[in-house]
Structure 1
Amino acid sequence: MNDKQLTFIRELNQIEYDCHVMLNQEYAALLDDSISEKQLITLNQLEKKGRMLTGELATLLNITPSAVSQMLNKLEKKQFIRRFINSDNRREIFVELAQGGIDYLNLNRQIELSIIKRFYAKLPWEDLQHLKRIMLQFKAIIIKEQSIDHLPDD
């Protein structure tokens, strides 16, 4: 990659970052800014799967069971999740969304819809389709590169 391409990509990254910051500033008052990225991933996964074991969350987030427990303590204090013992195996703990977590995710969806209507809807449909194709290509590259990085050494 030459210097001109590198400069261009840095500008692209800065534009993306600036947009993210502007949207965060506008909508920050509506959301609990103390929610970490891993906590949000946890809430989204619990919504998708219904309930999960704490060990599954540790694997998914690539963190230790102790770190999962600490994270879940914070979410439980906010009444975003609830934990309960697996009746079939008392050493396992299930986690599921509580009403606070459901409400938080619903608010996230309302904000997303507002962003779509106020900003994305002003872009031409063809540009949005092109942006999606580019982002899917970028995602595929990341997935491929990450799988190469995790191959066992010979």
Structure 2
Amino acid sequence: MDFTKAGLHLRSMVSDMLAFPDVNRFVAGQISAIDVGYEADQNMPPHRLNGKRLPDVELRLPDGSIERLYNCLHNGAYVLLSLKQGADNDHIPFNGLHTVCASLAEPREEWRDVHTVLVRPDGHAAWAVDAAGPDAAEVIQSGIRRWLPIASRV
């Protein structure tokens, strides 16, 4: 068997298939694992972001500067992203957890009404809490203790 011809034929066939957007998207998702989702944390309130890979959104920090979410993940730590505006941030100071208080630079429908998200080091949402949820601070603290049992209050 002529493996060179077979390899060229396979390459040509794959190139032809990748011309189809659905095939291209499927193959890219398989190779990059960007389409991997995780089961939602059953101890947290249900949320549309739970277990999903988060996009690299732009965040507006309190000083007005812009930071990308994925830049916050560079040190390999979990990131507690608080999108709640105002003084109710008593859940923020934990050792061993990178915390970011910000707002989204551009509104995104799937992030509407999000209070806080615990972002895993791989960019997936461990859990998210809606602003309208009951006693968000207590739920968030419980979620942090469950996902990062070594984290302690400052």
TM-score, structure 2 normalization: 0.25
Name which structure has the greater RCO, CA cutoff 8 Å, separation 6+. 2
Higher helix share: 1
Instruction: Point out the structure with the larger strand share.
Output: 2
